[in-house]
Amino acid sequence: MKVKIISLAIILSLTSYTANAKEFVLTDNEKGINKGNWSLSSKDVGIKNEKFTIQNTVLKGGKQDGSEVLTIASDNLTIKLIPTRGLGILSVVGDGIRMGWDSPVNEVVNPKFINLESRGGIGWLDGFNEMMVRCGFEWTGHAVQADGMMYTLHGRAQNTPVSKLIVDVSDKAPYTITIKGLIKENTFKKSNLETSVSLSYIPSTKYFTVHDVVTNNSDYTRDYQIIYHSNFGTPILEEGAKFVAPVKEISPFNDYAKDGLKTWQTYLGPTKDFDEMVFNVYPFADAKGNTQVMVTNKAGDKAAGIAFNTNELPVLSLWKNTDTLKQGYVTGLEPGTSFAYPVTIEREQKRVRHLEPGQSTQFTLTYSLLSSKDAVAKYADEIKTIQGNQETKVVDQPMAKE
């Protein structure tokens, strides 16, 4: 697929700040800035109509020593981001409902303690506990040895500390808070991808937007891939929980997933010896490419929704890991440019995209916490509108074998 070229003016508008905003630089490696522990409140910036705090905390001890957690807290949501881990989202909580999960990894592991090539290329799992992980951008998917190197599980972005971290607070209603970072995947002879990542949140709401711009600063054409690995456990995930999406086509990732095709829309409770089960999904979208998906509890009064554009993220991986609570009871709704097969298979199937020298591309996702029957029903109705009378094609065989 041809990648849209974003003009320099647009890139600057996405990565700069409006005149009606106050910016705070917490980290800038080029300028030698690293503020570490830091905090800000709505009162500090003269905002009287909204109440919020923003706090950056440097963790100490164990494998999280030196990791930073940046917390946005309002009356509606508490959002925790990890600048040390690619500005991933650790958790989001509102109305007593959590978007996130309980991993056996119970520390915010500093990447300096992770060897991505350990255990045959799956060392990435040693730090995996976030609500949202950026799997990319140089490559993603299952680990594979090829091209004289190890393509480790799900790339490097999530285990790369941001080189810049900036807090931007609008001083006019609706007082949007934007957290911006810069991920550098720069390797001599191999890669020069830099990604401006951001999360924007309006304190009076229960949704937030992730917006990323990936740029190839190399003089050569380079591959890129991304999967937004978005993970949800209790209290949303439970026996009888449902995956709701406008599905054009669904197929099993491997032979193990074939047995789950008849029940792909629902979930088991915690089940010992349940291996992870993955499905490849092509979603329907509206005329502009917009679509949305969600996972909801059995009663339909707690849910997490994700809206995205299929021109940017054409596929979705549905990951069911309904193992025991201690093992990690979780599901992943994962919009991406690729499925989770190794990069070698994704290349063969023409899903690996390319950036020309100096070229950029962008991704936008909006996450919603739905905390009432009405909110869940409205989101479900919007999904039904996208699906319309279009039928879902269920393919009973995997599209590839590892």
Q: pLDDT tens digit string along 59-81?
A: 999 999 999 999 999 999 999 99
The DSSP secondary-structure symbol of 392 reads P
Question: What is d(CA 352, CA 83) in angstroms, rounded to the nearest whole number?
Answer: 27
Mean of the pLDDT values across residues 84-112? 98
Bond before 24 cis per omega within 30 degrees: no
- 3-state secondary structure (DSSP) of residue 221: coil
pLDDT at 18 over 90: no
Q: What domains appear along the chain, each with residue ranges and CATH number?
A: 8-394 (2.70.98.10)
Question: What is d(CA 204, CA 77) in angstroms, rounded to the nearest whole number?
Answer: 9
State the pLDDT at residue 4.
40
Mean of the pLDDT values across residues 202-228? 98
Mean of the pLDDT values across residues 173-198? 96
pLDDT at 12 over 60: no
Sign of the dihedral defined by the CA atoms of residues 376, 200, 315, 232, in that order: negative
Whether residue 104 contacts residue 328, with contact meaning beta carbons closer than 8 Å, is answered with: yes
For the chain, helix (H) and strand (E) counts, in that order, are 6, 26
Whether residue 238 contacts residue 269, with contact meaning beta carbons closer than 8 Å, is answered with: yes
Question: What is d(CA 22, CA 167) in angstroms, rounded to the nearest whole number?
Answer: 8
pLDDT tens digit string along 279-330? 999 999 999 999 999 999 999 999 999 999 999 999 999 999 999 999 999 9
Whether residue 163 contacts residue 147, with contact meaning beta carbons closer than 8 Å, is answered with: no
Return all residues near 12 (Cβ < 8 A) that are at least 6 apart. Answer: none
User: Token pair 């991704």 is at which residue?
Assistant: 363
Whether residue 244 contacts residue 378, with contact meaning beta carbons closer than 8 Å, is answered with: no
State the pLDDT at residue 315.
98
b/e code 274-291 from CB counts within 10 Å (16+ = b): bebbbbbbbbbbeeeeeb
pLDDT at 1 over 50: no
pLDDT at 110 over 80: yes
State the pLDDT at residue 233.
98
What rounded mean pLDDT belongs to the chain? 95
- 3-state secondary structure (DSSP) of residue 13: helix
pLDDT at 11 over 60: no
Q: How many CB atoms lie within 10 A of CB 223?
A: 17
State the pLDDT at residue 43.
96
Whether residue 118 contacts residue 92, with contact meaning beta carbons closer than 8 Å, is answered with: no
pLDDT at 15 over 90: no
State the pLDDT at residue 21.
81
Return all residues near 91 (Cβ < 8 A) that are at least 6 apart. Answer: 79, 80, 98, 99, 100, 130, 131
3-state helix, strand, coil in the chain (%, to 5): 15, 40, 45
Mean of the pLDDT values across residues 189-213? 97
pLDDT at 342 over 70: yes
Mean of the pLDDT values across residues 98-122? 98
Question: What is d(CA 264, CA 368) in angstroms, rounded to the nearest whole number?
Answer: 22
State the pLDDT at residue 6.
40
